[in-house]
Amino acid sequence: MNAPVSASKALEEVRQLVAADDRRDFEFAERGFIATRKDPVIPRDDGKGPAFDLRAYDYLEDESTTETVNPSLARQAKILTRHGLFKVMDGIYQVRGFCVSTVTFIDAGAGWIVVDPLTSVEAARAAYELVTENLGQKPVISVIYSHSHADHYAGVGGVTNAADVAAGKVSVIAPAGFLKEAVSENIIAGPAMLRRARYQFGLTLKHGCCGEATSGLGPKPSIGTPSLIAPTIDITHTGQELTIGTVRMIFQITPGTEAPAEMNFFLPDHRAVFMAENANLCMHNLLPARGALVRDAKAWADYLTESIRLFAGESDVMFAAHGIPRFGTEEIVTFLANHRDAYKFLHDQTIRLMNTGLVASEIAEVLKLPDVLAKQWYNRGYYGTMSHNSKAIYQRYLGWYDANPANLNQLPPEPAAKRYVEAMGGQEAVKARAADAEKAGELRWAATLLNHAVFNDASDRQAREQLAAVYTKLGYEAEAGTWRNIYLTGAQELTEGVADLSPVAASADVLAATTTPMLLDIAAVRVNPAKAEGKDFRVNIRLTDRNETHLVTVENGVLIHEEGIEDADAGATVTMTRPELLMTLLAGFPLSDFTKTGSVKIDGDAALYETLTGLIEAPKPNFNIVEP
């Protein structure tokens, strides 16, 4: 890639803001520090490199970093990457900086309550080992999942196991609907989301002043073994109370905020409130860059109002699933109110401007928080941004179409680019205009021009390098960690190509929690209609290990499945186990591997099931983004 280019002129405003910092967040981040790991590398169980390296962000201590990292983001990153074991208050401890999320250990007398056990088994195990090393050996007696995103449950296998949960030694507590949401969010659009997540989190970027500098919400996610143990206790309503060991807990459910299934809780005997991922050290996103259903900013604000009324005035400590705690009742009330007001302002003013006729891009250009809210570090756009979030709100209410007929049926990027380039005088003319725009500091316009040039001729090395240089400058200027990652990943792929990353295989317990209808949904969205043309048939599937029956119908290029239905006139009946269904339908294993041994039995047309599997195409995990 090109040598780094300083973006210091564009960053002068945030330099002044950082210079005036009262350092309160740094004090909160340091408070209660006990120890960190002696070995900075947390190894992966499969031996394929580190799950996490605690040295990854050491470069942030170099003052010259802010020439290529927005000073405001650099400040945020220093706070988020302070790693180790911290005492939040008597009986409550956190391990921070081992993953994008934060894991909490609450002393319940006979053992630990573990809240949100990180993204990987390896990182969660390392956190538990650090707690044991410094606070003494205690068993885990309960695990709490605050919500249905993987960075808050997938490391559970590092702190407990399914056998102890099944034996009643360990309870697993989660909001109602957790399991469905946890396994379904990435089921249908998973491959596309994972590809886009590389951009959001900068997964292929190196750490350093010219690379990844956190996502703005936390360090890079740990990369290791995922796990999932189904909840044993559902939290169904606000005000529900539980006592785990010596710890009393009062819950507040907050569905549809940062996650479809989410909850906060209050510890009355500790005067401490846990805010899950509903209150953070940054403005969150209403629509992740990786993709998701748009979140409800109004509901988010309303639940924060409820949190203030229920718990804030009775709390001396607030802790959360990312970032650092806050201390003191007045601090907590003010923080939650200001955070609430930011989301409410964002929602209400987007709607107001929408109803005056502004479209999403126009709203994003003019909408700014009032100074009283914008000057709060925890409202700044490190993870979500005002621009991105206002567009998400517009999408939630009105969708992608802005009502301008010219945008109703636009040309796709590649043919549009060829026509734009032709209209502007050809490829060389476009590159020259882009160079002038870059020199003038009009980086967004330069990126637009050069994007057309690359989509017109992806083999034009100069156009690719010019665009990569512009993306690099935009990345260096970005206050949002996510935007930095996106721009720098785009630059990387323009100059180095797309890294061949194989998706992490789902663990056995994640697959066990995935229902058979969900697996058949995956198959349905992978049917190639050209291959299915003229092939209409029905197959009964009997799963002996689950005592399930499913009727699969293929007609008109569509796969339909019905649970609990068996058709006597179906062309074939296949008797098998769920793992055999998974391996043959989605993993590409030949059916003959199992029919030869007699483990799979087929009554009727033996070729029909292989016809079915032949219609299913695997997704392409490394598809192009910044070029055709």
List of domains in the chain: 9-332 (3.60.15.30), 411-496 (1.25.40.880), 515-615 (3.30.1050.10)
- What mean pLDDT comes out for the span 320-333? 98
- Which burial class, exposed, middle or buried, applies to 465 when counting CB atoms under 10 A from its CB (0-12, 13-18, 19+)? middle
Q: At what angle do helices 443-456 and 461-477 cross, to 10 degrees?
A: 150
Name the 3-class secondary structure at 554: strand
pLDDT digits (tens, 9 = 90+) for 444-491: 999 999 999 999 999 999 999 999 999 999 999 999 999 999 999 999
Work out the pLDDT band at 8, boundaries 50, 70, 90: low
pLDDT digits (tens, 9 = 90+) for 200-253: 999 999 999 999 999 999 999 999 999 999 999 999 999 999 999 999 999 999
Please report the pLDDT score of residue 4 as a whole number: 39
The yes-or-no verdict on residue 509 having pLDDT over 90 is: no
Q: Phi/psi at 319 (nearest 5 deg)?
A: -130, 165
Please report the pLDDT score of residue 512 as a whole number: 80
- What mean pLDDT comes out for the span 374-381? 96
Please report the pLDDT score of residue 16 as a whole number: 84
Neighbours of 252 (CB within 10 A): 25
The yes-or-no verdict on residue 33 having pLDDT over 50 is: yes
Torsion, CA 11, CA 13, CA 15, CA 20, rounded to 10: -170
Please report the pLDDT score of residue 106 as a whole number: 99
Are the C-beta atoms of residues 538 and 551 closer than 8 Å to each other?
A: yes
Residues above pLDDT 90, as percent of the chain: 92
- What mean pLDDT comes out for the span 9-21? 78
Torsion, CA 453, CA 456, CA 457, CA 458, rounded to 10: 80
* Count of alpha carbons within 13 angstroms of residue 246, beta-carbon side: 11
Characterize the bridge pairing of strands 171-175 and 140-144: parallel
Task: Provide the strand spans (E) within 116-271.
Answer: 140-144, 171-175, 233-235, 241-244, 247-253, 263-267
pLDDT digits (tens, 9 = 90+) for 76-114: 999 999 999 999 999 999 999 999 999 999 999 999 999
The secondary structure of 267-278, three-state, reads ECCCCEEECCCC
**CA-based end-to-end distance of the chain:** 20
The yes-or-no verdict on residue 9 having pLDDT over 60 is: no
Please report the pLDDT score of residue 1 as a whole number: 36
pTM (predicted TM-score): 0.95
The yes-or-no verdict on residue 6 having pLDDT over 60 is: no
Q: How far apart are CA 238 and CA 252, in angstroms?
A: 4
The yes-or-no verdict on residue 72 having pLDDT over 80 is: yes
Q: What is the DSSP annotation of 514-536?
A: S-HHHHHHHHHTTB-HHHHTT--
